[in-house]
Structure 1
Amino acid sequence: MNTTKNFLLHAVKTCAVATVVAATLGISSANARDPVNVSLITAPFGTGSYVLGSALEEISKKQHPWLRIASSESPGFIFNIKKLDKEPALKKSMIVGSGAGVAGLAASGDKPFDKKYAPPLKLIANYSLGAYWLATLDPKIKSVSDLAGKKVALGRAAQINWAVQPESIMRHGYGLGKDKTNIQYVGTKEAVDALLDGNVDAAVVGGYFDPLTKKMEVSPQTAEFLASGRKITHLPWGKGAVNKAKSTGMKMANITVPANAIEGVTTPLEVAADTISWMVAPEFPDDLAYETTKLIISNIQSFGEFHALGKLMSTEGLIYGWETSDIHPGALRAYREAGIIK
């Protein structure tokens, strides 16, 4: 009798345990989600944008249960915006490398774009902040206003940060349009080479900046220029000149590079900056924008393992230079949960 009783008691307990396990498994299955693939097009192979895009892909594989970001190179940010326009189905599943400057020009239809690309892209996160200004080897040139009638080498004509924005500041901030200054669009490295060779009077230089730590990483060609051993004069834009260019619709930010943040620069530099960002179309799903942004915030320290620019990433920098209305609603939710935006 006791054997039968014990057997029945054991059976009841076993059944109860099985029920709990089954319920737990059922909950787990309900919460499980199949992998969701999101594509990311960045910039040309070897650039910081390309490397950090690859970093985001690796982080998604290792740190997220179902979000899978597949990164690939592209010809550049202008191409990225045009691709979304030509293939609208991608707007629900693609992140693109972009920035405030290029996205603003696309939305307004100004050169180098041939039409208005609307509605404007929305921010997921900045992964860098580029800062740009002019430098000279001529001791007689003390400020940008002294460049009237001089030769100035910029990046290629389609490069927003290295050419379009500097030209806009010269024209609107100092009245130095192409009729008063000989502007040559030669490329970033080529601009510095032309200055070192004495073929131009000034050239565009710059680097990448963290607004939280105030640290700066100069661009490769700028590092080469600084290492030349020549007597260099850096020409700050000044906030007033940058603001005049901004008043025309050119998207930029004012930043002050602290003294000694750059080798040989002992006084603060008031220069222009532009965001370098991961952006999406408004159609991009809220939950994917939310999860992507949470992933970036949670793993922000990991990007420095992939590229020097990743070491400049900070929570403050992720949204620097943008209004909340420019941020994708899903991303905005993640920033508010993290306390980055109140």
Structure 2
Amino acid sequence: MGYTMKSVITAGLLTLGIQAAGLQAAQAENYSLMSAPFGSGSYVLGSALEQIVAANHPTIRISHSESPGFAFNHMLLQKEPEKRKTMIIGSGRAISALAVRGEPPFKEKLPPVKALANYNLGSNFLATLDPNIKTVADLKGKRVALGRPTQINWTLQPEKLLRVGWGLGKDVNIQFLGTQEAVTALLDGQVDAAVVGGYFDPLSQQMELSPQTTEFVAGAGGRAHFLEWGEEAVIKTDTAGMPMAPITIPGKALPTGQDLEGFADTISWTVSDEFPEEAAYEITKLIIENVDKFSKYHALGKLMSPEALTYGWKPEEFHPGALRAYKEAGLIK
């Protein structure tokens, strides 16, 4: 059988293509991401990160999956230490501090994590339909629905604010129902107040309410009332060991139209200090360069900006690779 020059060249190019594809596959760097429950803003933005990295990096790939919550993510790194070199987890400053100290919901001290980037700031507060409940102090002896026991922003921080920040101790009946279930219970009259909230950008002063909160406002029919924590209670709670920062959410960002003194906590992508420095650098660099694209995936992406990626963290709290990317971008000096 004879061979033409064209067939030889075609075969050669095909061989080179196969070899190149094999080489690229061999060089692929696979990492995983555990974010938060399915359907949450954290989950959607985690999926966005997976897709943005795949579309903009030749070898790094992130496989994203849901998790029960940030506390679970930290415990997973403790139980499976081999994942510390390959896994990104959803976390934040508050839950990270509790994990390192071994305080509830953790039963032992866990390895520290380092920040890659914020994707939001969480702010949660209480809502009620009872016009006689005007402040948190009026919840003495009342039923208050929070999220699941291991959730930081929806449960642990509000519980600490109630019991310590406002000094209600055991004089408040707290029920751990879950984020959606808490709102449902409030609308059905089964509890007197419930945790709601959303995600806040202190730079633009914009807020996106969580889906449960939006549902509550719609179902309340104009009777919705939000209870502010107050700066004093937030500082008292922070001093007691539950990290949080006082903020004031402007009335223009809320359906009630009234300013609300509350707290903020970072909601971030973090990694173990064993995570490869070059991978942390490349992933963080991609986040910085494509931060405007997250808005295409979820409304919470509109709250993301280069400056907000580092908000609330000290330079030494970033992974060295991430810190290098921020310094190159001029976001950290």
Contact preservation (8 Å) 1:85, 1:117: yes
Secondary structure, aligned partner of 2:123: strand
For structure 2, list consecutive stretches of 5 or more residues without a partner in the other structure.
1-25
Alignment of 1:132-171 (within 5 A): 132-171=124-163
Q: Does residue 100 of structure 1 match 2:93?
A: yes
Unaligned runs of 5+ in 1: 1-32
User: Pairwise mapping of residues 91-130 of structure 1 onto structure 2 (< 5 A)?
Assistant: 91-118=84-111, 120-130=112-122
Q: Does 1:45 align with 2:38?
A: yes
- In 1, the alpha carbon distance for the partners of 2:200 and 2:115 equals 19
Q: Which amino acid aligns with 1:339?
A: G
For the residue of structure 1 that corresponds to 2:27, the secondary structure is coil
2:99 aligns to what SS in structure 1? helix
Give the match's secondary structure for 2:331. Answer: coil
Query: What SS does structure 2 have at the residue aligned with 1:322?
Result: coil
Aligned to 2:189: 198
Once residues 305 and 155 of structure 2 are traced to their aligned partners in structure 1, the CA distance between those partners, rounded to angstroms, is: 27
Once the 2 structures are TM-superposed, how far is the Cα of residue 198 of structure 1 from its aligned partner?
2.2
| 1:203-260 per-position Cα deviation (integer Å, ceiling 9, x unaligned) | 1110111222111111111101111214222111111101111112212222211112
Post-superposition offset of 1:67: 2.0
SS of 1:200's equivalent?
A: coil
Please state how far the C-alpha of 1:117 moved relative to its aligned partner.
0.3
* Letter aligned with residue 164 of structure 1: L
Runs of 4+ in 1 over 4 A off after TM superposition: none
**Is the partner of 2:252 in helix, strand or coil?**
coil
The Cα of 1:90 is off from its aligned counterpart by 1.6
Indicate the residue corresponding to 2:123 in structure 1. Answer: 131
TM-aligned CA deviation for residue 323 of structure 1: 1.5
Counterpart secondary structure, 1:139: coil
Q: Is this contact kept in 2: 1:155–1:204, CA < 8 A?
A: yes
TM-score by length of structure 2 reads 0.88
In structure 2, what is the equivalent of residue 276 of structure 1? Answer: 267
Contact 1:211–1:316 at 8 Å: present in 2 too?
no
User: Residue 227 of structure 2 aligns to which amino acid in structure 1?
Assistant: L
Could you list the per-position Cα deviations for residues 118-145 of structure 1 after superposition, in whole angstroms to 9, with x for gaps in the alignment? 2x11100111111101122222222111
Matches within 5 A, 1:1-342: 34-118=27-111, 120-177=112-169, 179-228=170-219, 229-263=221-255, 265-342=256-333
Partners of 2:264 and 2:308 lie apart in 1 by 12
Whole-Å Cα distance in 2 between the matches of residues 160 and 323 of structure 1?
A: 20
**Root mean square deviation, CA, Å:** 1.6
TM-score (norm 1): 0.86
Secondary structure at the counterpart of residue 119 of structure 2? strand
SS class of match (2:121): strand
Cα separation, 2, equivalents of 1:255 and 1:65: 41
Distance 2:39 2:177 in 1: 20
Give me the whole-angstrom Cα distance separating, in 2, the residues matched to 1:175 and 1:125: 34
Identical counterparts, % of pairs: 59
Secondary structure of 1:260's aligned partner: helix
Q: Residue type of the partner of 1:270?
A: E
